[in-house]
Structure 1
Amino acid sequence: MSKANVQSWPEEKLADICEINIGGTPSRSVPAFWAEPPAGNPWLSIADIKTKYLIETSEHITDLGARSSNVKAISPDTMVMSFKLSVGKAGIVKTAMYCNEAIAIFQPIRSRVDHRWLYFALPRAAASAVTDTAVKGVTFNKASLAQLELAVPEIPVQSKIAEILDTLDAAIRGTEAVVAKLRAMKQGLLHDLLTRGIDEGGDLRPPQPEAPLLYKQTPLGWLPKEWDARLLDEVAIRGSGHTPSKSIASYWNGGIKWVSLADSHRLDQVFIRETDKEISEAGLANSSAVRHPENTVILSRDAGIGKSAILASEMAVSQHFMAWRCGSKLNHVFLYYLLQREKPRFEAIAMGSTIKTIGLSFFKKYMIALPPKDEQDRSAEILLEIESDIVRHEQELQKLRATKSGLMDDLLTGRTPVTALL
């Protein structure tokens, strides 16, 4: 009995509670065995196991292909799991299909197992077995799968555990969908606000083809008549940074936040508040590094090229970054989003074979589309609002995932009785 099995559920071998079958692959040299979706029958591979419920697959096989190979039919509401290459990717089949030989099919024997409970319990047991035997290089096959042991509660308890975890899964999927929708909305707003903007009535201007009289031709293409195409250097003070000598300890850990390539993971989140490293007053005085004030917009021009952020407080930066202090005609948040939208362009023009970089000459000639300041302010406000919504829902998603992880451990071991949660 597992030490974690607090409620003393019986440990049973997988073969005693499930019939185990392995999938197969029809010969790829026979075109008649394969069909172009939606014709034919869905044929599941590991790459198709992306969601909990499995309905469609990227490849289909014909009835002839099924009869002429060792594929096994999978009926709806059957749990499947990968056991080769990527062990433990699981799903519940919701429409009749077949699968390949890297996927095992688990059909409960005499209704001793709720397939929904098995979906949560089996991958956990498989992962534990892989961890325990990794040193020996053990790999799964049908025989070793059959020997896996699970602590198996009574069917009513299995069903209640599945019900609780299903509810959390539904909440997670719903929140993921909200985050995806908000991200799509943000991308749409980035395009619309930074190419046609907001009119005096607070509405998005119609696109140029629909209202050509509202636009003018500029070096940056069609822009609203109220906008200008300006060199960024004309509306912001450009700067950069430097790295103090790493061989002199007194130049480091002196309380001055210093943005370097080690902070790449902190960029593209609007504001950067913390840095991996700090430099000292001596490091600042004995290098070309300078203090950049709060709300300076920075851009990585080397590794992680095109990533940007706004300094949330006074900081220095390494030579791998450009920095702009916006003047009275340019909103720093608006500039950040302009640079965000330009990221694919920065990546495309980067030069160099070993470490890609954008040279200083590019930024001296870099032009931006500049709306009136009040329009910039409103656009920045709208984009920050949707950014805040995204962050809020992402935090909720993290909480839900953490809650599920903790509950899975407690419920599947019997550490927490299911009745305590109900």
Structure 2
Amino acid sequence: MRRNNQTNWPLKKLKTIAEIVSGSTPKTSNKDYWNGNILWVTPKDLSKLRGKYIEETEKKITEAGYQSCSTTLVPAGSVLLSSRAPIGHLAIAKKELCTNQGFKTFLPKPELDSGYLYYALKYYMQEIKNIGRGAIFAEISKSMIENFEIPVPESYEDQIRIATLLSHVEAQIAARKESLKLLDELVKSAFLKMFGDPVKNEKGWEKQPLTTVCILQSGGTPSKANPNFWDGNLPWFSPKDLKKSDLWDSIDHINENVPAQTNIRLLPKDTVVIVVRGMILAHTFPVSVLRIKATINQDMKALMPQVELHSQFLAECLRSQSKFVLQQVSEAAHGTKRLDSEGLHKIGIILPPSKLQNKFAALVEKVEAIKSQYQQSLSELENLYASLSQRAFRGELDLSQSTYLTQHVQAVVAGKEISKKLREFQNSGIDLSNLSLFSENVAGSASKMLRESLNKILNDSPINTTQQISKLIQFHFKNNFDFDDLSYALNNYDSELLQDVTSYHQIRQALMELLEQEPEKLRQRFDIASKKIVLAPKR
């Protein structure tokens, strides 16, 4: 596949930089071929993979099984790409292994680093998926992938630097995701410790049907025939929005006057909402809490308590019995999954004292505050990863800053330390009297590590700042300019390369380097009229 070369590096077809082999499957009916010692990879193995290395497989084949088919043993360091059902799973072999027919495996030649190839394939994955062909499901043939081109730095060291940088940021992203998962588990564990399993009700709380303790308010959809109904900023939630426990905004919005003009009710903040219709109920029971006034569609129900029920407690009470709730899901004539009135009535809600509910809510509030910080950090890291990947494969990173590429190991360690602290607290028995300790020791140190590691990345980002600012000066300024003029230009210049170059330190450092460069690219002098030092590009 030919592409426009956006870098100074040569574009190379994959077949020129790696040997590409396919896999195969021994006959499943022959028991002598299976349960051996040879690792045999399927796309399912990669779908469960955490990280980029694979060293274990669900199934293994014998030497006889290997000899019976056309699969190929590949060495450690080979890069695996699932080429069908689905296209796009990637991994690096940590041990010698073979694959089924759903793979194209790359054996890098000596001049190609396997880590660089892994991240290059990951960066160009959408283009790779687009070349897939097939009537039933898309598949990439060997001839298709071997002619796919990627830019390759001629310096092997530069390839390693790029792979190392992206690997470090990727590790921090994984650490943030693990911390978020641990925080969710902390809330679940705290609920079960305080209240027990609502289905079994081992602690003997008063228990009533959901339909008894709550009025279930239906939602609706404004008429599409009236465009005015869809011109507004009032949140209108549907099942696709319920991917988070707290809802602050929706994908779709309606006019603020819709509740007054239709039977769609405006719901107060802190209302618990659930999905009662949709195919998602085949495997998941979505429960969320509205954090703003909002409306919902007809596939959801809003729970309006008629007894003392804290929204955080009610939401977790429902989540903790998701397995039981899904057993009550029925199927409509047209195949849609639904929770009908009978199913909703079978869901039981335990009723512990409000004081205990409030203690649980206090824990959730602290955890959610930390999750918010982690989520923001995760979003920034994911944006950073995307930006660095783009710059890396466009040749826009200053790879001479090799120290940058090793500085972030400490940040990765910090992310792992956060997860360790969370596990320690979770295993401590979750004594609610430790909330202040949790907030100060775990949350405080975690937040500090988050800020320090993220700031280090953002402030030290290996853009060739001096080179980019020099280009901007040559393009933007014909005559004299001062520091404020340059700062304004940087903040308003339409360039992804310069969007992070706004700090005083970065600009000052770049200007100092330009003033000292030979041949001279920038001059400074004292301007009598303005009574300040000005700069001018040397042309």
Same fold (TM over 0.5): yes
Q: 1:244 to 1:185 in 2, by over 3 A?
A: closer
Q: 1:29 to 1:232 in 2, by over 3 A?
A: closer
Correspondences of 1:213-228 after superposition (within 5 Å) = 221-224=201-204, 227-228=205-206
* 2:389 is aligned with 1:411: no
Structure 1 residues 65-74 or 301-310, which shifts more?
Answer: 301-310
Structure 1 counterpart of 2:311? 332
Other structure's SS at 2:223 match? coil
Q: TM-score, normalised by structure 2?
A: 0.62
- Residue 299 of structure 2 is aligned to residue 323 of structure 1: no
Determine the structure 2 residue equivalent to 1:131. 130
Per-residue displacement from partner, 1:309-348 (whole Å, max 9, x unpaired)? 3333444445554434446733222122222223333332
For these two proteins, the number of residue pairs brought into alignment is 391
Q: What secondary structure sits across from 1:71 in the alignment? A: coil
The whole-number CA distance in structure 1 between the counterparts of 2:134 and 2:347 is 55
Unpaired stretches in structure 1, ≥5 consecutive residues: 198-218
Secondary structure at the counterpart of residue 413 of structure 1: coil
Report deviation, 1:99: 1.7
Question: Matched residues in 1 for 2:11 and 2:273: separation?
Answer: 58
| Paired amino acid for 2:18 | C
The separation in 2 between residues aligned to 1:150 and 1:28, in whole angstroms, is 37
Aligned to 2:270: 295
Are the aligned partners of 1:21 and 1:104 in contact in 2 as well (CA < 8 Å)?
A: yes
Q: Note the C-alpha offset of 1:54.
A: 0.6
Residue 377 (structure 1) shift: 0.2
Counterpart AA for 1:334: F
Q: Which residue of 2 aligns with 1:44?
A: 41
Residue number in structure 2 paired with 1:344: 323
Matched-pair contact (CA < 8 Å) for 1:241–1:316? no
Deviates more, 1:401-410 or 1:291-300: 291-300
Per-residue deviation, 1:380: 1.5
Partner amino acid, structure 2, of 1:246: S
User: For the Cα contact (< 8 Å) 1:411–1:417, is it kept in 2?
Assistant: no
1:221-240 alignment, distance < 5 Å: 221-224=201-204, 227-230=205-208, 238-240=215-217
Cα deviations by residue, 1:216-235 (Å, 9 ceiling, x for unpaired)? xxx964325xx433466776
Following superposition, the deviation at residue 57 of structure 1 comes to 0.8
Correspondence 1:400 to 2:381 = yes
1:72 aligns with 2:72: yes
Matched, 1:12 2:12: yes
Task: Answer yes or no: is 1:180 the counterpart of 2:158.
Answer: no
State the shift of 1:93 in Å. Answer: 0.6
- The alpha-carbon distance between structure 1 residues 152 and 18, as it changes in their structure 2 partners (threshold 3 A), is same
TM-score using structure 1 length: 0.77
- Secondary structure, in 3 states, of the residue corresponding to 1:89? strand
Aligned twin of 2:417: none
Structure 1 residues 273, 326: CA separation in 2 closer, same or farther (over 3 Å shift)?
Answer: farther
Report which structure shows greater RCO (CA 8 Å, sep ≥6): 1
The one-letter code sitting in structure 2 at the alignment partner of 1:294 is K
Is contact 1:272–1:311 with CA below 8 Å preserved after alignment? yes
Is the contact between residue 33 and residue 64 of structure 1 (CA under 8 Å) also seen in structure 2? yes
Are the counterparts in 2 of residues 32 and 64 from structure 1 also a CA contact under 8 Å? yes
Shift of 1:48: 1.7
Matched, 1:276 2:252: yes
RMSD of aligned C-alpha atoms? 3.7
Aligned with 2:70: secondary structure? coil
Q: 5+ residue gaps in structure 2?
A: 402-461, 464-539
Q: Which has the higher helix share?
A: 2
Inter-CA distance 244–101: structure 2 relative to 1 (3 Å threshold): closer
Cα displacement (A) at 1:177: 2.6
Query: Which secondary structure state, in structure 1, belongs to the residue aligned with residue 362 of structure 2?
Result: helix
Q: CA deviation at 1:400?
A: 2.1
CA separation of 1:288/1:251 partners in 2, compared to 1, >3 Å: closer, same or farther?
A: farther
Match of 1:155 in 2: 156
Identity %, equivalent residues:
19
CA contact 1:284–1:290 (8 Å) conserved in 2: yes
